[in-house]
Amino acid sequence: MHIVTGGAGFIGSAMVWKLNRMGVDDVWIVDDLGTGRKWKNISGLKFREVMSSDAFLDPLRRGGPLPPGTESVIHMGACSSTTETDADYLLRNNFEVSRRLAMLGIEAGARVLIASSAAAYGGGECGYADDVESLYRLRPLNMYGYSKLLFDQWAGATGSLSRVASLRFFNVYGPNEYHKGDMASLVFKAFGKIRETGRMSLFRSHRDDYEDGGQVRDFVYVKDVVDVMWWLLGRPEVNGLFNIGSGKAESWNELARSVFSAMGMEPDIEYVDMPPAIRDQYQYHTEADLTRLRAAGFEGTFRRLREGVADYVGKHLATTNPYINNDNR
């Protein structure tokens, strides 16, 4: 049995889809469906059980073990808002729950994959190498990033990183992010804006070494992300910190051109001033260092932005059923 927390969310539901494609349907989905559209992310997928976060976590908080027969814990459930300012909430939800599930997973002899984040790298002053030596040099720019770094620091200090894989996701985009609101990728937002107005906006650069819209990110397609996770799931001996990105930084301009191209339109981009409140914290460059992942033996490829966006728009955003469960390749 495979437990996927956040299993109706973005990466979590994509992982359930991947499990199904690989013939696995003995899955417990743990998530809070609420009143929005998140339930559609799992409609059509195969799983054994679905339950709320409290129904799953409350017995564990009281000292209970994981359900019998647990083969893996794929913990994707967390607050993913980079603008959340309630530090106590993030401490409880992102750090303490992750730590508890990691401890229980190790105790049960289960495979444990934990969602971390490239937000732990802060402004990138210390680079993007996923090594233990950098754990106390990193300075996240927000409490969300710090809550993820706290888990990695705990796991490193206790030796748990030798028993779990902590995954530092970079800028993930793709189907099933529709419920994320402001935290959805710019690919998703751009598609809606272009369809509505025929144009889109990007931030001007406030640095001389970057052109307007020339700020770069490591964009990684969610279908490539779950390929890595599936590979790790079958290799319990491969543990530690792992960057999950494409390894190739590309610009916001390239993202915009890719969306316009996928929609069969000529680019129409306007540049707007970056709000002063975020200028000092804005990242102009992120790029995953995949050295450790490659050294561990992962040989899979990652789509470049134009290819991933074409798949996302053509097979999902521009269809009547945009969810990942409509892709039966």
Query: Does the active-site annotation cover 315?
Result: no
Q: Which of the following is catalytic: 18, 38, 40, 144?
A: 144
Q: Which of the following is catalytic: 46, 180, 248, 315?
A: 180
The number of beta carbons lying within 10 Å of the beta carbon of residue 125 is: 9
- Phi and psi angles of residue 268, each rounded to the nearest 5 degrees, phi first: -140, 95
Residue given tokens 């059923």 in the structure block: 321
Burial letters for 213-250: b for 16+ Cβ neighbours within 10 Å, e otherwise?
bbbbbbbbbbbbbbbbbbbbbeebebbbbbbbbbbbbb
Query: Does the active-site annotation cover 38?
Result: no
Q: What CA–CA distance (Å, rounded) separates 301 from 299?
A: 7
HEC per residue, the chain: CEEEECCCCHHHHHHHHHHHHCCCCCEEEECCCCCCCHHHHCCCCCCCEEECHHHHHHHHHCCCCCCCCCCEEEECCCCCCCCCCCHHHHHHHHHHHHHHHHHHHHHHCCEEEEEEEHHHHCCCCCCCCCCHHHCCCCCCCCHHHHHHHHHHHHHHHHCHHHCCEEEEECEEECCCCHHHHHHCCHHHHHHHHHHHHCCEEEECCCCCCCCCCCCEECEEEHHHHHHHHHHHHCCCCCCEEEEECCCCCEEHHHHHHHHHHHCCCCCCEEEECCCHHHHCCCCCECCCCCHHHHHCCCCCCCCCHHHHHHHHHHHHHCCCCCCHHHCCC
- List, by residue number, the catalytic residues: 144, 180
